[in-house]
Each structure stands twice: as structure tokens, then as C-alpha cells.
Amino acid sequence: MGNTTLPGIFCIESDWVISMESKQSVEPALQALERAGYIRLIRRSANTAAELELYLDRWFEYRLRSFTLAYLGFHGTARTLHLRDQELNLPHLAGLIHGRAEGKVLHFGSCRAMAGDEQELQQFCRATGAAAITGYTKNIEWLESSAFELLLLPELMDAVRMKSAHDRIVRRYPDLAERLGFRMSHATWTSP
């Protein structure tokens, strides 16, 4: 598995476009972080709820415990991820996780997945055990969000305190954070 001292990102991503010729993926941006020596990367494709559940289960296996961040790359709307066979809202996703995300971070690389009220986002963190969830409250452009995530993800991987990481990112990259509607939540706090 390469350098096992590096933190790991476990990416679960759907096909963004139905066309068989489409190559659109977040994988090249994540590979850039891996090649630069910031992270280790595992990426899997999930287009159905069953596939998503399978890969979430794999993320929680003991041998992958150092893969502390899950990148969930799906089409989305407010508080909902879209798969080919169904839409999953945050409570449903929390049920799939079953409290197993203790100390881990989930990043939603999706339009508007973080457009919920603070209580709903905090409840998701409590139900899953996640140290934090991050994502966007607005419809996002692929290139802008990829550029932002190249800056965001290493910051999250190195963070000891999630709120401090949020504040650093928003202070360093205010234009991108605002344009994308970047938001973070943990069990007791949610950014505006």
C-alpha cells in the first residue's frame, strides 16, 4: 500500500455522466495529492445504494483504519446524494454508517449536500460518530470545487481541531469558500 505513514482518503464516486465515453472524475485531482506525497488513495465506483453500502463497509475495516477521510462524490441536492437507483438523504446515509465513523471525516463532493439546518447536520455527526462532515451548500462547478479540494483535503487530513481547520481554509481562500458555499459541521457546531 505504499507509504503507510501518510493519511488515507477513501473515495467513493458515482459516474457523473451516463455516457460510456465520459472520463469525468475527481480521481485525477486526488491522484495529484497522492503523487505529491500528501495522501494515500483508494477509489471505488458506486452507482447504486448497494454498492455505496458495500464500500462504506469496506472503509470501516480495521486494515483501512488509517484512511480517515471518505470523499463521497455524487450528484446532490439539499441534504441528499443521488445514485442511479435511489436518492439517499442524510438520515438514511447515517443508518448505513451505523455509528462506525468515530474520529473520521466525510467530505461530500456534491452540490448542496450540506444545505441542511445545523441540527440535522450535527445529528448526522452524532449518529455516525464522525469528527466532521464537509461539503457545499450551493451548486458547484467541477473545476472550481476540484481546485478548492486540492487545498482543503490536506488541511483536513492534518487537522487536530476541525473548527480551526475550517477557519484557516475560509481565511486563506475566502472567495472560493464563499462561491462554493463551503460548510463544515461536527456534533456540536456548524459553520454558517
Distance CA 168, CA 115 (A): 21
Looking at residue 15, what is its pLDDT?
Answer: 82
* Confidence grade of residue 91 (pLDDT, cut at 50, 70, 90): very high
Rounded to whole angstroms, the Cα distance separating 188 from 170 reads: 19
Mind listing the domains of the chain with CATH numbers?
8-14+24-190 (3.40.50.1460)
Higher pLDDT: 77 or 58? It is 58
Strand 87-89 relative to strand 80-82, pairing: antiparallel
**Residue of 17, 25, 4 whose CA lies nearest to 145:** 25
Contact at 8 Å (CB) between 75 and 46? no
**Concatenated DSSP letters of 80-138:** EEE-SS-EEEHHHHHHHHTT--TT-EEEE-STTTT-S-HHHHHHHHHHHT-SEEEEESS
Averaged pLDDT, 119-133: 97
**Looking at the whole model, is its pTM more than 0.85?**
yes
